[in-house]
């Protein structure tokens, strides 16, 4: 999950497409706001919520998944050392024996509350739910729907230059 206002892959895709990025997500190497994905890749991205709290969360995640794992802290692409951290928690050790069902029930209660919340209206007055009108989505649900659609049609839509780049990489 990106803690930035736009994921690295989104920048790379915009760069490959020659598309502009939103005006409030990135800075060039000189600290000026930019809509150029290429300039953003050489500059900096704002954090997801554009606040000091988001900056602190981003720093914490970078330290855990980066410095803590021995990943490169500069020039990650050149060093090809991005770092990964997986944390697995056995609820039996944290909450005591026979609490897994209780944990599942609590988690489902929280997820149900999120799923059934009323979406805020957007600037155009429409519902703030996702573009598929599927309501509020939990992490992974959009990707699951996209995968189902791709399996149904038997293909994945992508730009010609992205396909050509993947084919070149595969060869």
Q: Are 67 and 73 in contact (CB under 8 A)?
A: yes
Q: What is the pLDDT of residue 134?
A: 58
DSSP 119: P
Tell whether 160 is covered by a domain.
Answer: no
- With vertex at residue 53, the alpha carbon angle to CA 95 and CA 94, rounded to the nearest 5 degrees, is 5
Tell whether 33 is covered by a domain.
Answer: yes
Q: How far is CA 87 from CA 13, 69, 90, 108, in A?
A: 29, 12, 10, 21
Nearest to 3 by CA among 53, 71, 68: 53
Tell whether 149 is covered by a domain.
Answer: no
Other CB atoms within a 10 A radius of the CB of residue 25 amount to 21
- Return the CATH number at 56: 3.30.60.50
Q: What is the pLDDT of residue 34?
A: 97
Q: Whats the size of the chain, residue-wise?
A: 171
Tell whether 156 is covered by a domain.
Answer: no
Tell whether 24 is covered by a domain.
Answer: yes
pTM of this prediction?
Answer: 0.61
Tell whether 44 is covered by a domain.
Answer: yes
Tell whether 52 is covered by a domain.
Answer: yes
Tell whether 56 is covered by a domain.
Answer: yes
Residue by residue, DSSP assigns 53-117 as HHHHHHHHHHHHHTGGGT--SS-HHHHT----------HHHHH-TT-HHHHHHHHHHHHHHHHTS
Range of the domain at 28: 8-79
Q: What pLDDT tens digit does each residue of the chain (171 aa) get?
A: 688 999 988 999 999 889 999 999 999 999 999 999 999 999 999 999 989 899 999 999 889 988 888 888 887 667 788 788 888 887 777 766 567 778 888 889 999 999 999 888 877 665 555 444 558 999 899 999 999 999 999 999 888 888 888 899 999
Please tell me the total count of domains within the chain.
Answer: 1
Q: Which residues, 6+ apart, have CB-to-CB distance to 133 below 8 Å?
A: 127
């Amino acid at each position: 999950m990106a803690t930035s206002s736009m994921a690295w892959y989104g920048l790379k895709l915009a760069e490959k497409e020659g598309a502009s990025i939103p005006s409030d997500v990135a800075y060039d190497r000189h600290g000026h706001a930019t809509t150029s994905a290429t300039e953003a890749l050489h500059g900096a991205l704002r954090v997801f919520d554009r606040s000091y709290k988001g900056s602190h969360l981003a720093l914490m995640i970078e330290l855990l998944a980066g410095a803590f794992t021995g990943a490169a802290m500069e020039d990650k692409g050149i060093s090809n050392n991005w770092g990964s951290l997986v944390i697995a928690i056995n609820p039996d050790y944290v909450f005591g024996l026979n609490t897994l069902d209780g944990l599942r029930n609590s988690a489902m209660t929280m997820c149900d509350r999120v799923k059934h919340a009323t979406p805020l209206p957007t600037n155009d007055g429409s519902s703030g739910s996702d573009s598929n009108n599927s309501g509020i989505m939990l992490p992974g649900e959009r990707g699951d729907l996209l995968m189902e659609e791709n399996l149904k049609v038997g293909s994945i839509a992508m730009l010609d230059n992205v396909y050509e780049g993947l084919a070149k990489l595969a060869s």
